[in-house]
A and B are shown apart, each in its own frame.
Chain A
Amino acid sequence: MQRADRIVAIGLIFVSLGVAWKATELPVGILPKEGPGGGFLPFWLSLGIAAVALMVLIQSLVSSRRDKSATAGAGVFMSREGLRDLMRVGLPGMIMILLIGVISVYFSAALFIFYCLFLVGGHNLKTSLGVSIGVPVVVYYIFEKFLIIPLPKGYAEFLFYWN
């Protein structure tokens, strides 16, 4: 847990310094008669984040040196089983999101829901098929037909406009 805390603090320092550097594209100082320039807020905010993240890092290092068995920050960040469970749905979830732009949100959702129900959840074929077809159909009618918000369809676009 403590190691994760430090890694995140270091990551925050690097990211915010990078953002501060990008913010200098606009004036970061106080312009005469106008107040702060366009880059003022993002520049000083990101420097501020870097400074406070450094304080978090120092606090974490100091507290562990002072007391080896400190209760604060004890425990593991993630157990092996927890990570496995997370990856079994999280990774396919990521693939589902990436496939939305390729095979449409409807097919991608159907595949993902079927995978979760049938292969991970151990539900029977009838339930799995029912939910994985039912949810995209309901989403289709609510968004495309009722609200008239077209959702991404990727290369499957032609399937929705065949008539």
Chain B
Amino acid sequence: MEILGNLFYGLGIALSPQNLLMALFGVVLGVAIGAMPGLGSVNGVAILLPITFAVPPTSAIIFLAAIYYGAMYGGAISSITLNIPGASTAVATTFDGYPLARRGKAADALVTAAVASFIGGTLSIVLFTFFAPPLAEFALRFGPPEEFAVVLLAYATFAGLGGESPLKTIIATMLGLLMSTVGTDIVSGSPRLIFGGITGFYHGINFLVLAIGIYGVGEIFYTLEEGFKTKERYQAKLGVQETISTLKNLTKCAPTIARGSLLGFFVGMLPAAGATPASFMSYSIAKRFAKNPEEFGKGALEGVAAPECANNAASTGSMLPMLTLGIPGSPTTAVMLGALFVWGLVPGPRLFVENAEFVWGLTGSLYIANTMAVIVAIFAVPIFIWMLRMPMTILAPIILVVCAVGGFSPTQDMFDVYLMFIFGAVGYIFRKLDYPLAPMVLALVLGGLTERTFRQSMIMSHGDPGIFFDFAGHPIAAVLMMVSVVLFVLPIVPMIFRFRVSRAGTSA
């Protein structure tokens, strides 16, 4: 009951006019920034951080949390309407969101994304409210071997999502991993694969450059070849009737959303993982459990709901270790952690006692920001539908310009814009030849983390790979590794079977 008392205390703080205004302002800015290709929540929080120094810490963290939340909603918008993920957390949303938009169901997809985000966010805030301290203790037991096991689990759940050709799926995944090794060797600090000192390679290949290249530029190339002058790219309808029928359809997604939200919260809470692996895992688990797995990738509403509820749940989850332990669960919370120190607050269990106003004000505002975000996001839907109705001859050049700006802004390096254009051309060719692109992006996003956690574990164990299966010393890692191995083997069995059938078919 003490918690409920605290919660009402927090809601009271969050509902004060100044804080309410901060939350609304933050949500609107967050949705707008999240919807812009190349800019995600981390950019929004980092750019707008200086503004918060003028207000008290409680209002400031409410503002930052609202941006974080809004950006999670906004990221889905460009994924669905343009096939350009606004941030890594929204990559999985493109898989089904964009096909839905092409079938004239952009409004359905956008509403589904907003509602799923709302449910995912709310469920995880409830978990956050009641279980923050014990969960933080659990998260603290995660070291490099456990983190590596979680990352491997993300790959394992994704293994079944390749294209028609298993060989090409393997090539795409390995190419993504290879790209993630460009830059600096994390252990020795020496430059690696920079090809004679190309300065643009020193900071590594940003996954957004690849994602905007293959999904944005590549998509435009694809449309151009299909015929530039087709009047409309796709029909998009939106009315009260459509929205109501979408909400009815949403009940079918309820189990998916429940699973995705829980998964998102727990993965988000882990120190290294965050919202991106959570969204990928949720997507592939939704596909496994679905009655209609063949529709995934072609426009299944569950395919939009799953990653969206998970990434919102994870964004709340990742705030938990930041506040209780001072360990950020995502890049965005890392920036927020920096802000905590600027405000003179020390994260840890004492924060909950000494700065109760701050902690419970933030918790209360999460409920409110989440409600505001779903309203703002649904009201923004008609604007994006209107945009989609523009003829392709206007939309295509604008998208290319937006891609160029989006490729530049994460690293502020022109080299990345050239690289993005090259990725666009390569992605276009790969797509025509049935090389799946999603595993490549996933591998690049997770590649750095995979290598870092693996090599840290190896240094810990003095080069003994047995550390991952040490049930006595690292039980969590060992269990997760066993689950990953099982998940890896499962999809390979039908793959081999299918390969043999197809060979028998051609020789007959």
Which A residues are closer than 8 A to B by beta carbons?
1, 4-5, 8, 12, 16, 19, 22-23, 25-26, 30-39, 41-42, 45-46, 48-49, 52-53, 55-56, 59, 63, 66-67, 70, 77-78, 82-83, 85-86, 88-90, 93-94, 96-98, 100-101, 105, 109, 112-113, 115-117, 120-123, 127, 131, 135-136, 139, 142-143, 147-152
- Given A105-B401, A113-B397, A121-B394, 6 more contacts at CB 8 Å? A8-B430, A36-B455, A105-B404, A105-B405, A147-B33, A147-B43
15 contacts between A and B (CB under 8 A): A35-B463, A45-B177, A48-B174, A52-B171, A52-B174, A56-B165, A56-B168, A56-B171, A82-B225, A93-B217, A109-B404, A113-B401, A147-B39, A149-B409, A149-B412
Q: From known contacts A30-B463, A34-B463, A96-B400, infer whether A22 and B193 are also in contact, taking CB-CB under 8 Å.
A: yes
Shortest distance from the beta carbon of B495 to any chain A beta carbon, whole Å:
14
Contact of A34 among B221, B405, B432, B458 (CB under 8 A): B458
Which among B97-105, B181-189, B482-490 touches the partner chain? B181-189
- In the complex formed, the residue of A with least CB distance to B467 is A35
A-B pairs, top 7 by smallest CB distance, nearest first, are: A35-B458, A121-B393, A38-B185, A116-B397, A82-B225, A42-B181, A109-B401
Interface locus among B257-265, B380-388, B413-421: B413-421
B391 touches A121 (CB 8 A): yes
Please give me the residue from chain A that is nearest to B175 by CB atom: A49
Q: Is the pair B185, A26 in contact by a Cβ cutoff of 8 Å? A: yes
Please give, as numbers and ranges, the residues of chain B lying within 8 Å of A117 by CB-CB distance.
Answer: 393-394, 397
Which among B177, B405, B459 is the interface contact of A35 at CB below 8 angstroms? B459
CB atoms of B171 and A131 under 8 A apart:
no
B192: CB under 8 A from chain A?
yes
Q: Which residues of A contact B43 (CB under 8 A)?
A: 147
CB proximity of B434 to chain A, nearest CB, Å: 9
Bound form: Cα–Cα A127–B227 in Å: 21
Residues of B within 8 A of A (CB): 33, 36, 39, 43, 47, 165, 167-168, 170-171, 174-175, 177-178, 181, 185, 187-188, 190, 192-193, 195, 217, 220-221, 224-229, 391, 393-394, 396-398, 400-401, 404-405, 408-409, 412, 414, 417-418, 421, 429-430, 432-433, 451, 454-455, 457-459, 461-463, 506-507
A74 CB to nearest chain B CB (Å): 13
Given contacts A19-B193, A33-B463, A139-B401, contact A94 B225 (CB under 8 A): no
Q: Which residues of A lie under 8 Å from residue B418 when comparing CB positions?
A: 97-98
CA distance in complex: A49, B432 (Å): 19
- Say which residue of B225, B227, B408, B430 sits within 8 Å of A83 (CB atoms): B225
Contact at B224–A86, with CB atoms within 8 Å?
yes
CB pair A49 B225 closer than 8 Å: no
Give the nearest-CB partner of B33 in chain A: A147
How many angstroms between the C-alpha atoms of A18 and B114 in the bound complex?
46
**B405 and A151 form a contact (CB under 8 A):** yes
> B404, A97: Cβ atoms under 8 Å?
yes
- Could you tell me if A90 and B221 are in contact, using CB atoms closer than 8 angstroms? yes
Report how far A22 CA is from B198 CA in the complex, Å: 13
**Cβ 8 A contact of B463, one of A32, A39, A116, A150:** A32
Closest Cβ of chain B: how far from A125's Cβ, in Å? 14
- Whether B506 and A66, one on each chain, are in contact in the complex, defined by CB atoms closer than 8 angstroms, is yes
* Nearest Cβ on chain B to A140's Cβ, whole angstroms: 10
Q: Are A85 and B463 in contact (CB under 8 A)?
A: no
Inter-chain contact A45/B225, CB cutoff 8 Å: no
Chain A residues within 8 Å of B398, by CB: 113, 131, 135
A19-B400 contact in complex given A39-B192, A66-B506, C-beta closer than 8 Å: no
Least Cβ–Cβ distance between B170 and chain A, in angstroms? 5
- Pair A112/B401 contact, Cβ less than 8 Å: yes
- Contact assessment for B394 and A34 in the assembled complex, using a CB-CB cutoff below 8 Å: no
Residue pair A148, B47 in contact (C-beta under 8 Å): yes
Bound-complex Cα distance A151 to B413 (A): 10
Chain B nearest CB, measured from A151 CB (Å): 6
Q: Contact check, B393 vs A120: say whether CB atoms are below 8 A apart.
A: yes
Query: By the criterion CB–CB under 8 Å, are B224 and A85 in contact?
Result: yes
Question: Please, which residues of chain B bring their CB within 8 A of the CB of A16?
Answer: 178
